[in-house]
Amino acid sequence: MNCSQIKLNLPRIQKMIRTQIKLNRPRFQKMLRPRFQKMLRTQIKLNLPRIQKMVRPRFRKMLKPQFRMKRTQTRKTRRPAYQGPGPISPATGKAFGPRSVIGTKLGFRPPPLSSYTIIETGGRTTFNLDATRDGHFVHGLLRLHTFDAFTTVTTRHSTIACMFIPCQRPRFTLFISHGKDVDIGQKINFYYELSTGLQCNVFSYDYSGYGQSTGTPSEANMYADAEAALNALRANYNLTNPEIIIYGHQIGTAASTYLAARNTGLAGLILISPFMSGIRIAYPSMPFSFWFDCFPSIDRISSVRCRTIIIESENEEYYRPIDGHGEKLFANLHPGLRVELLRFQSGDDGVEHTCLARLQQFVTQEAGEVPGY
């Protein structure tokens, strides 16, 4: 075929080529993609200074003003470096990004009003409960005023409220992280019953944004709250890890697993209605964790080095035992530290009241420091 024939048949030839490319597009893509990527990397490498000079001003204009540091701010006045999941906005002081948004929307539902206030009476700080906001103590005010109440500051600049219920001749001290829709004033009756029934001191705290705690509820703040509360418990009451049992309910199981994975020598770990991670509530068969997943207890529990009991509720509102949350968490524990995986039908007072007898057995017979771990 000479040049004149090609010129006459050019539209037909072009149509044939387009048809061949359309029919063999996957094959062409597979063949050309590596070459194109190599060419692109070479071009970027050769023209990197030019590209940086071209892109940087445009990128600065795209940034919103509230996420930029003011030029008048010095390095000393800036907020501390990132400590935990989710980057921090310098303007608002709040976490942002997909992981923080998922964690906040999924995990936290603070009561709109605090059920208690912290007051000073007889030279000590204690609780004043508001009955109109689900805060009431049925065992008498004299006993209520024997409870200690104080605040502590976290590494993320939240001031959190803490509560300590003393017990005569305690076996252990329970460090409790509560569920997502209550504050410590609403749980105070159960905590007292737990203290007397298990013969243990009980310590609990409110997450940032709950009760009398300042700040905003978020995954990163919750971890900082838990660490600050545990440090305050050890410092104020001269306790060591072998005297402390970590206890978590619902969203509190994420904080409890986080603490148990980072502290050795604890007396035990109790998880009530735990879940594997945030995304696995919706997709329980997910075989791996995404970088933006929140509350990844399934990845942390293998680092726990204390005896652990897991208790599930048959009628949990947000995630079901049939999805295998407790089973997979229990399987990821070290074999020598697995105590028992139980399922209870929760009554009107919740699964925590239903399983008190089993918890008493755990505290009296099974909890304690495990040599070699």
The domain limits of the chain are 105-366
Q: How many CA atoms lie within 13 A of 372 on its CB side?
A: 4
Total Cβ atoms within 10 A of residue 22: 9
- Of 169 and 103, the structure prediction assigns the larger pLDDT to 169
CB atoms within 10 A of CB 32: 11
Q: pTM above 0.75? A: no
The confidence band for 17, taking pLDDT boundaries of 50, 70 and 90, is confident
CATH 3.40.50.1820 describes domain 105-366: yes
How do residues 64-80 score in pLDDT, each as one tens digit?
444 444 444 444 444 34
Q: Report how far apart, in Å, the C-alpha atoms of 317 and of each of 150, 251, 273, 280, 281 are.
A: 32, 13, 10, 15, 11
Determine the pLDDT at residue 10. 73
% of residues, the chain, pLDDT over 90 = 37
- Which pLDDT score, from 0 to 100, does residue 126 have? 81
CB atoms inside a 10 Å sphere around CB 20? 11
pLDDT-derived band of residue 12, with 50, 70 and 90 as boundaries? confident
pLDDT tens string 155-194: 999 999 999 999 988 999 999 999 888 999 888 889 998 9
* Residue range 313-335: mean pLDDT, rounded: 80
Among residues 236, 286, 230, the alpha carbon closest in space to that of 258 is found at 230
Listed range (16-30, 198-212, 281-295) with the worst mean pLDDT: 16-30
Give how far the C-alpha of residue 79 lies from the chain's centroid of Cα atoms, to the nearest Å: 22
Scanning the structure block, which residue is given the tokens 């002081």?
Answer: 93
Read off the pLDDT of each residue in 256-262 and give the average, rounded to a whole number.
95
Mean pLDDT of the residues in the chain: 79
Structure tokens of 321? Answer: 């035992």
Strand 244-249 with 124-129, pairing? unpaired
